[in-house]
Homo-oligomer: A and B are copies of this chain.
Amino acid sequence: MNAAIIAVGSELLGSSRLDTNSLSITLLLERYGIPLDQKAVVADSAEKIARELRSLLELHDLIVMTGGLGPTDDDVTKEAVAAALGLQLVDDADILANIEQKFTSRGLRMPAPNRRQASVFSGQQTLANPRGTAPGFHLAVSAGASVRHVWIFPGVPFELEGFLEADFEPWLKGNSSQSVYRRVIKLTGLSESAAEEKLGPFYRRHEGEPVTILSSHGEIQIHIQAVGTADEAYPELVTREQELREIFGDAAYGLDDDTLEAVVGRLLVSSGSTISTAESCTGGLLASRLTDVSGSSSYFLGGAIAYSRQAKLFLIGIDPAVLDHEGEVSEPVAIQMAQGVRRRFSTTYGVGITGIAGPTGGTASKPVGTVHVAVADQKEVRHKRYLFAGSRELIKHYSTQMALNMVRLMLIRQR
């Protein structure tokens, strides 16, 4: 079985809204191991809805539609589906009475357009809507020897959730033999294509098994999954996770919901260490990420944001001769920032970042994106020079990502 989703509604095609209903449907499909490989958002046009439904039914066993079941003239989902599948719409007296009653119970008269919501597909299953007026539908459509399923739900999220819980999930449970277990392995400090190259042997060993690589904001996620009962799937997932850990070594920083800042936080806690930060081009973003982690006050003692030359002198105690001779964006300044802040806050680790976030301020020898990161502890100081590409905000983000990773690598190598 494979699935597609159709969301109906011109309002979903503006620049200020997205179809988020599909996410709750997707979660259920994932839970019961049914691959979703297409989604469509279609305006309130009977012709376009019908065309899309027919097209998707050729390659999918299960179609879930939302929206376009309201009382107004531009709600045309039922008419479009009837036309596409050759079904008849008939008025249902019980549903009509039920809709009328919902209005009269609140002392209101049923507006005439609401009558449209009482039409149903002849010979198909109609689903009661305890949370609103529009019923839902489950249509079984013959396609040669097999049967394809079309589910139609209102687009109001609260009503949709009711149908998913009462009707759709029980049906999925009864019609899927297996569950899907997922794991995400998170990497940082290498490029997507480098990760791809290293994955070659893994791909070949697990041909046909779904592996997804996502890359964004200086990190790479490898999504793996295993299908079956928990007893079958779980050991498989663990084995594959181990294979990936062997392939990527220290570049694999965490799993699933882990963030790099949370992983660094756990390593700091478990080693009884503390940290402080001295930031120039990242302007406080590194400290902000560290303090996004609940409980970070036990290891993050504070930081200095030394944006101006003066602040570098009085706040962190950089040697003015070094500043003059090497420039604010340089290896010696990053190192002095790391060592200086570490000393001032009396922390185990000190981090220094200085660079050019752009879009202005670059030179031939120090172009925009040049960033020096240094991490100091009691025994040593490590330094790296980076050249990042991207917007000002991206360069800030990458810089903090690489700084957090340098701290992480120092922590795990000292264990």
Q: Are A197 and B358 in contact (CB under 8 A)?
A: no
> What separation, in Å, do the CA atoms of A29 and B165 have in the docked complex?
37
> What separation, in Å, do the CA atoms of A62 and B328 have in the docked complex?
50
Other-chain contact of A302, B72, B306, B391 (Cβ < 8 Å) = B306
Given known contacts A40-B39, A71-B193, A114-B193, A302 and B305 CB-to-CB distance under 8 angstroms: yes
Given known contacts A111-B194, A301-B308, A36 and B20 CB-to-CB distance under 8 angstroms: no
A66 within 8 A of B: no
Inside 8 A of A16's CB, which chain B residues have their CB? Answer: 23, 212, 214, 223
> What separation, in Å, do the CA atoms of A23 and B358 have in the docked complex?
26
Within 8 A of B (CB), among A90-117: 106, 108, 111-114
Within 8 A of B (CB), among A11-40: 11-16, 18-20, 22-23, 26-27, 30, 36-40
> What separation, in Å, do the CA atoms of A317 and B225 have in the docked complex?
54
Q: Are A213 and B295 in contact (CB under 8 A)?
A: no
A146 within 8 A of B: no
Q: Are A284 and B292 in contact (CB under 8 A)?
A: no
A389 within 8 A of B: yes
Q: Are A303 and B305 in contact (CB under 8 A)?
A: yes
Given known contacts A39-B13, A212-B10, A223-B16, A393 and B292 CB-to-CB distance under 8 angstroms: yes
> What separation, in Å, do the CA atoms of A396 and B294 have in the docked complex?
12
A315 within 8 A of B: yes
Chain A positions within 8 Å of B, measured between CB atoms, are 10-16, 18-20, 22-23, 26-27, 30, 36-43, 45, 47-48, 51-52, 55, 58-59, 70-72, 106, 108, 111-114, 131, 158, 191-194, 196-197, 212-214, 223, 277, 279, 281-288, 290-292, 294-297, 300-308, 310-311, 314-315, 344-346, 357-361, 387, 389-394, 396
Q: 10 closest Cβ contacts across the A-B interface? A: A283-B291, A284-B284, A284-B287, A302-B311, A37-B43, A111-B193, A303-B305, A284-B288, A285-B288, A39-B41
> What separation, in Å, do the CA atoms of A19 and B37 have in the docked complex?
14
> What separation, in Å, do the CA atoms of A59 and B361 have in the docked complex?
49
> What separation, in Å, do the CA atoms of A183 and B58 have in the docked complex?
41
Inside 8 A of A112's CB, which chain B residues have their CB? Answer: 197
